[in-house]
Structure 1
Amino acid sequence: MSLSIVIMAAGKGTRMKSARPKVLHKLAGRPMLSHVISTTSSLKAALEVVITGHGAEQVESSMKAAFADAPLKFVRQEPQLGTGHAVQQAVPVLPDEGITLILNGDTPLIEAATAQALVDACAGEKLALLTINLDDPTGYGRIVRDGWGEQVLAIVEHKDATETQRALKEVYTGMMAAPTRLLKGWLSRLNNNNAQGEYYLTDVVAMAREDGVGVVAAQPRDEVEVLGVNSPAQLADLERRFQAVQAGKLMEQGVRLADPARFDLRGTLQCGSDVDIDVNCVFEGSVTLGDGAQIGANCVIRNAVIGAGVVVHPFTHIDGDKDGVRVGDGSLIGPFARLRPGATLGREVHIGNFVEVKNSTMADGAKANHLAYLGDADVGERVNYGAGSITANYDGANKHRTVIGNDVHIGSNCVLIAPITLGAGATIGGGSTLSKDAPEGQLTVARAKQVSLSGWQRPQKIKR
């Protein structure tokens, strides 16, 4: 039976107090709506409909860019007149048969297994609601059951509920699955005779009962799956809950986290055995840490493969972006180092404090220990790159490469003006500015002759 998915993402999110559409606020480094669409991709739906409204163009362009290959359609709800009105906007693009699964764009941590369980509960015949029991159900629609607690009779919105109904703990999460043919009929019968003058999707429960359609409920594995976001405080709370789950999974695999409460994963992290991660580290994109890797405090690592036995000292920033960064086994990085896209380091490479490497390869045993820049360079084995030295790789219009052979020693405060090649075993005198190739095995010095001027006096400040 074909599956259609409708994701409601039209709300303004007034309590967020932000010009950004609510569903584009980020959880774990990604827009909330992006989490939902990523989850639904595993359900193999024939159609996914995203209902936009506030900031529609921004939401649609963002999701089209992120999910270019997904079967997404966008419909707009303008103005926003309630959840039922929102789903009514999707009716023209929905097929007449199959099952329609309705999810919320501001409830980002729904799991695929829970969504599938809701579809299975519907089975093409029943109205299936995703419910949960909450200690504090404030703001949620309450589930009203019969006297035996078996049949769902209705969902009552919080603002329309009586005091007795507000005491109920079982709530509707905003997600349901229904036979598409029946859902279309129910949506056509909605009215706005309520305190808010809105069209409530929850009213379809009473319609299903009138039509003799069974109303069933399914529940998620964990409360975190159904927690929606309406304010910065709720977003922050959900972020910490999500990160606690990620930290727990890593520790179950043997990763040692100095403090799970001070750990952030905003992508995927694959770890070998005996990995140590200190406090306040952020991992983004796709990151792999080899056996025995040690990550110091306050590091940010994005899209990188870190080899076995690597030590990344505190306050290091590794950003692989689209090109990635690779760090070979046994290397030492930082503190306060920066590895940029395209940095590829061999085994036992040393990158020290305030050293930046971009789009460059460094062969086994190469070292740049202090205050240096290597951009668009190919560095050979056992090279010693002096403090304060840089590759001048940009001529104002184009980038050029610097090639440094094996066993080259480069003194402090050198400028290598690319394109340039330093032959194997060359030594470059400190303070040299080179614009021509340096031959193998020779000392090359390019700096002004030192002079001392007798009788010269330092300028004095004029007193007024």
Structure 2
Amino acid sequence: MSLSIVIMAAGKGTRMKSSRPKVLHKLAGRPMLDHVIGTTGTLQADRQVVITGHGADMVESAMKSAFAEAPLEFVRQEPQLGTGHAVQQAVPVLPDDGITLILNGDTPLIHASTAQALVDACGGDKLALLTINLTDPTGYGRIVRDDTGVKVLGIVEHKDATPEQRAINEVYTGMMAAPTARLKQWLARLDNKNAQGEYYLTDVVAMAQAEGLSVVAAQPRDEVEVLGVNSPAQLADLERRFQRVQAERLMEQGVRLADPARFDLRGTLKCGQDVDIDVNCVFEGQVTLGDEVQIGANCVIRNATIARGAVIHPFTHIDGDTQGASVGEGALIGPFARLRPGAKLGKGVHIGNFVEVKNSTLADGAKANHLAYLGDADVGERVNYGAGSITANYDGANKHRTVIGNDVHVGSNCVLIAPISLGDGATIGGGSTISKDAPAGQLTVARAKQVSLNGWQRPQKVKR
């Protein structure tokens, strides 16, 4: 039986008070709609239809970029006249058979298993609603059942509900699965005779009942799956709930988080044994931490691999971007260090405070402990790179590499003008500007001769 998935993402999100479409606001570093499409992509649907409206160009462009290989279709709801009107726009692209699953683009944490359970509950011959019991159901449509409490009679929107109906805690989440042929018929019969003057998708429940079609309910395992976002406060609350779930999962695996309430994962994080993570750390993209790695407070780490026993001191920023970054076993990084894309550090490497490394390889035991820059460089074993020294790798048009051999000592405040090579065991005198290759095992100095001028006087301020 074919499966079509319709995702509603047309709303403006007035309460977000933003020019950005609501579904593009980010949760855990990704747009909310991105989460939903990522989940539905595992359900092997025959088609996925995204209904856009407010900011349609922005939404469609973002999703086409994020899911370039996914068979997404887009239809537009203009103007926005309610949830039923939204799904009506998808009718022309839906087949006449199979099941249609309807999800919300601003409910980002729905699980694939819950969505599949809703499809299974439909079975092609029933209308299946995803419901949940909330302590505070304000704003949600209430599930009205018969006197036995078993049969679903309908859904009443919050604005249209009586005081008795508003006391009901079971609510409709906005997600359903229905036989596609029946759904098309119901959508054609919707009207807007209600307090809002909108076409409600929930009205199909009464139509199904009138036709004798069974209306069933499924529920998620956790409330967080069905919480929608209508305001910055709700987005922040859902972010913390989501991060708490991720933190608990890591702690169950043995990761020690100094404070799970001050932890953010915006991608995937794989950890070995005895990993310690201090407060206010952010992990983005794909990050791997080996056994006994220590991450200090206030670090941001993105697309990086950190090997066993490495220590990342506080306020370090590692961003591997698309190239990735790697830190070798037992390395010491920071505090206040920055590793950029292409940084590859060997065993026991030391990168100290205010040192930046970009597209460079540092072999085992190399050290750059203070206030230095290494860009487009190959650094040998046991190199000592002095404070204030830089590789001048850019000539205004092209990047060039600097090659530093094993056991080289580069003094403080040196400029190495690439392309250049420093031979094994070379020593570069402090304050030198080196524009030619330095031979192995020799001292190379390139600076002006020191002169002291006898009788020179410092200029004095003229008094007026």
- Shorter chain as denominator, the TM-score bin is over 0.9
Aligned to 2:396: 396
Paired residue secondary structure (1:229): coil
User: Where in structure 1 are there 5+ consecutive unaligned residues?
Assistant: none
Aligned to 1:138: 138
Rounded to whole Å, the distance in 1 between the matches of 2:257 and 2:147 is 49
Rounded to whole Å, the distance in 2 between the matches of 1:177 and 1:456 is 90
TM-superposed deviation, 1:390:
0.2
Rounded to whole Å, the distance in 1 between the matches of 2:456 and 2:215 is 97
Paired residue secondary structure (1:153): strand
TM-superposed deviation, 1:211:
1.2
Rounded to whole Å, the distance in 1 between the matches of 2:221 and 2:31 is 23
TM-superposed deviation, 1:462:
2.7
Aligned to 2:451: 451
Q: Does 1:382 align with 2:382?
A: yes
Rounded to whole Å, the distance in 1 between the matches of 2:121 and 2:138 is 27
Rounded to whole Å, the distance in 1 between the matches of 2:415 and 2:460 is 33
Aligned to 2:242: 242
TM-superposed deviation, 1:96:
1.1
Rounded to whole Å, the distance in 2 between the matches of 1:230 and 1:73 is 25
TM-superposed deviation, 1:198:
0.3
Rounded to whole Å, the distance in 1 between the matches of 2:427 and 2:282 is 39
Residue-by-residue CA offset, 1:134-191 (whole Å, 9 max, x unaligned): 0000000000000001111000000000000000000000000011111111100100
Aligned to 1:95: 95
Residue-by-residue CA offset, 1:77-134 (whole Å, 9 max, x unaligned): 0000000000000111111111110000000000000000000000111000000000
1:115-130 matches, cutoff 5 A: 115-130=115-130
Rounded to whole Å, the distance in 1 between the matches of 2:429 and 2:93 is 72
Residue-by-residue CA offset, 1:414-444 (whole Å, 9 max, x unaligned): 0000000001110000000001000111110
Q: In the alignment, residue 349 of structure 1 is paired with which amino acid?
A: V
Rounded to whole Å, the distance in 1 between the matches of 2:165 and 2:373 is 66
Aligned to 2:343: 343
1:30-45 matches, cutoff 5 A: 30-45=30-45
Aligned to 1:299: 299
Q: Over the residues paired in the alignment, what is the CA RMSD in angstroms? A: 0.6
Residue-by-residue CA offset, 1:291-323 (whole Å, 9 max, x unaligned): 000000000000000000000000000001110
Q: Does 1:372 align with 2:372?
A: yes
Aligned to 1:17: 17
Rounded to whole Å, the distance in 2 between the matches of 1:458 and 1:107 is 71
Rounded to whole Å, the distance in 1 between the matches of 2:45 and 2:411 is 62
Aligned to 2:183: 183
1:47-446 matches, cutoff 5 A: 47-446=47-446
Rounded to whole Å, the distance in 2 between the matches of 1:457 and 1:17 is 64
Rounded to whole Å, the distance in 1 between the matches of 2:78 and 2:373 is 53
Rounded to whole Å, the distance in 1 between the matches of 2:198 and 2:75 is 19
Rounded to whole Å, the distance in 2 between the matches of 1:459 and 1:78 is 74
Q: In the alignment, residue 420 of structure 1 is paired with which amino acid?
A: I
Paired residue secondary structure (2:193): coil
Paired residue secondary structure (1:450): coil
Q: In the alignment, residue 245 of structure 1 is paired with which amino acid?
A: V
TM-superposed deviation, 1:459:
2.0
Rounded to whole Å, the distance in 2 between the matches of 1:135 and 1:78 is 35
TM-superposed deviation, 1:378:
0.4
Rounded to whole Å, the distance in 2 between the matches of 1:15 and 1:75 is 24
Rounded to whole Å, the distance in 2 between the matches of 1:155 and 1:56 is 29
Rounded to whole Å, the distance in 2 between the matches of 1:429 and 1:171 is 74
Rounded to whole Å, the distance in 2 between the matches of 1:199 and 1:323 is 49
Paired residue secondary structure (2:41): helix
Residue-by-residue CA offset, 1:13-39 (whole Å, 9 max, x unaligned): 000000110000000111000000111
Paired residue secondary structure (2:453): coil
Rounded to whole Å, the distance in 2 between the matches of 1:123 and 1:68 is 31
Rounded to whole Å, the distance in 1 between the matches of 2:454 and 2:31 is 68
Residue-by-residue CA offset, 1:249-270 (whole Å, 9 max, x unaligned): 0000000000000000000000
Residue-by-residue CA offset, 1:171-226 (whole Å, 9 max, x unaligned): 00000001111111110010001111100000000011111111000000000000
Moved over 4 A (4+): none
Paired residue secondary structure (2:187): helix
Rounded to whole Å, the distance in 2 between the matches of 1:368 and 1:52 is 52
Rounded to whole Å, the distance in 2 between the matches of 1:368 and 1:326 is 16
Rounded to whole Å, the distance in 2 between the matches of 1:450 and 1:175 is 79
Paired residue secondary structure (1:80): coil
TM-superposed deviation, 1:463:
3.0
Rounded to whole Å, the distance in 2 between the matches of 1:95 and 1:451 is 88
Rounded to whole Å, the distance in 2 between the matches of 1:443 and 1:115 is 69
Residue-by-residue CA offset, 1:342-371 (whole Å, 9 max, x unaligned): 000111100000000000000011000000
Paired residue secondary structure (1:110): coil
TM-superposed deviation, 1:460:
2.2
Rounded to whole Å, the distance in 2 between the matches of 1:2 and 1:435 is 68
Q: In the alignment, residue 299 of structure 1 is paired with which amino acid?
A: C
Q: In the alignment, residue 443 of structure 1 is paired with which amino acid?
A: L
Rounded to whole Å, the distance in 1 between the matches of 2:26 and 2:383 is 43
Paired residue secondary structure (1:8): strand
Paired residue secondary structure (1:347): coil
> Structure 1 residues 451-460 or 103-112, which shifts more?
451-460
Paired residue secondary structure (1:43): coil
Rounded to whole Å, the distance in 2 between the matches of 1:110 and 1:343 is 37
User: Where in structure 2 are there 5+ consecutive unaligned residues?
Assistant: none
Q: In the alignment, residue 130 of structure 1 is paired with which amino acid?
A: L
Matched positions, count:
464
